[in-house]
Amino acid sequence: MLMTTQEVVAKIKSGATLYLAGDEQLLAQLPKGNWIGGTIPYFMDTDGGTFSQDKIFVQEQSAQIASTVIKNYGIDALPAIASDSPDDGFSIVIIPGMSAAHARYAEDAPDYPGLFMKQIVGWIAGVDLADIGKVAPKVYNGVTGQALLDQAVVLHATLLPGKMAVVGIVNLFEQGDGDVLRFETDGFTVENCLVNGKAKNFAAYLVDSEVDTLLPLVADYHGEMINVSLQRIDSDTGKVELYAPVFRGVEYRVAKPVTNYIEAFTARLPQNLAQPEFTCNCILNYLYSGLEGKRTGSLTGPVTFGEIAYQLLNQTLVYLQVRDV
């Protein structure tokens, strides 16, 4: 829930372990303690979607965790996140948006050894949309008191015996029945693509086909729908900027439209889902679906510049739940 700085300080001093999100000016005031955090002023609170620069969003670690370790990971150390993640627990990762660490994790994480054998979630820190290009997102290691511009901060949690962590995603999008798109290079910037096997300039294709750029590209990874959202079409250079990388050899299609976000979201929530250990939702869902003041079930958390469920995701809600084995 959203709390005042004074309330968060009291929780930190009480010894609680916290996952925090808020404005840089607020997070910078907090004392050292067992917490991690990232900058963002958008949240899904108990009362609905909220923009706030005077409160901090707090997710408090539950009593089902035996121990935690908080570490920083520089760009070259990012593959160790998976190997350091406990077999009998989970890891929460926060990475500064628009940083080299963000790009490296997005492009390389699917190839990290053991990544999909662990329970790894997290989010990409951001800023007020009006401050993009003016203010850099930051992440915080509460144990050391560091504010980091180009490293990941990760909380590794080991569960009590008899408990297990389960990662879930809620993705409202599925592949449409339009053209099959393939790309010949990995990355966030695309110039050319294969449309039903024929080479075309991707920017020209999107414009000529009048593609709704609010809809993501969707890949089907063995039944799991993974989104790649469109950021900007530059007709002058013929290039398209994306919010997540595309990968060679993967088949993409433009998503089917979603007519009512709240109804679709509610329909896709797992039954009897209690308040998870951790939740985050995408800034694009917040913007495109007009979520300010609207509730997304019982799930609350930061609204982010990217979501992590093992790899980087777009336009997706991610949660982690602790259950009995």
Higher pLDDT, 263 or 286: 286
Sorted by where each begins, the domain ranges of the chain are 2-170+262-324, 181-254
Total-model pTM = 0.93
Report percent pLDDT > 70 for the chain. 99
3-state secondary structure the chain: CEECHHHHHHHHHCCCCEEEEECHHHHCCCCCCCEEEEECCEEEECCEEEECCCCEEEEECCCCEEEEEEEEECHHHCCHHHHHCCCCEEEEEEEECCCHHHHHHHHHHHHCCCHHHCCEEEEEECCCHHHCCCCCCCEEECCCCEEECCCEEEEEEEECCCEEEEEEEECCCCECCCCCEECCCCEEEECEEEECCEEEEHHHHHHHCCCCCCCCEEEEECCEEEEECEEEEECCCCEEEEEEEECCCCCEEEECCCCCHHHHHHHHCCCCCCCCCEEEEEHHHHHHCCCECCCCCCCCEEEECCEEECEEECCCEEEEEEEEC
12-21, 271-280, 316-325 — which is least confidently predicted?
271-280
Mean pLDDT rounded to a whole number for the chain = 94
Average pLDDT over residues 69-73: 98
Q: Give the model's pLDDT for residue 42.
A: 96
Q: What is the pLDDT of residues 153-199, one digit of tens each?
A: 999 999 999 999 999 999 999 999 999 999 999 999 999 999 999 99
